[in-house]
A = this chain, B = another copy of it.
């Protein structure tokens, strides 16, 4: 990872508090600690944060996560509406197993280029994109 969330906060002028540091830490560590396809929702984030400091309220988690999003540090996903998930903004796509819910991250140069081309075609400059593929695992043959 290029820069920690804390460093990004500094460069974006986001004030750091003890709570925000803890929340940032939990988000940064979420993948390593919980496996490859770990995309915790706010409630789960709150659970993990609570183990470090049980006095942090869920309102603070919501506020912090929204703050980080507005600073461009995190991106918000609504894979299935009703529960938002946040992760570090590093611009990959998702392949979601509709049976198990497993989430695979991928990047693809070619698709990236194609998207830019399509936006151009309609007279737009691409500023963001969201690509989610939904699939079922093929039987090994």
Contacts and interface: CB of A to CB of B under 8 A. Distances in A.
Interface of A: 76, 78, 81, 84, 95, 97-98, 104, 106, 108, 110-111, 114-115, 118-120, 122-138, 140
The majority secondary structure among interface residues of chain A is strand
A76 B78 CA distance: 12
A132 B133 contact: no
A103 to B, nearest CB: 11
Q: How many copies does the complex hold?
A: 2
A118 B127 contact: no
A135 B130 contact: no
A84 B98 CA distance: 20
B126 A133 contact: yes
Given A81-B81, A110-B114, A127 B136 contact: yes
Contacts of A137: 123-125
Contacts of A126: 133-135
Contacts of A76: 81
A58 B126 CA distance: 37
A76 B120 CA distance: 27
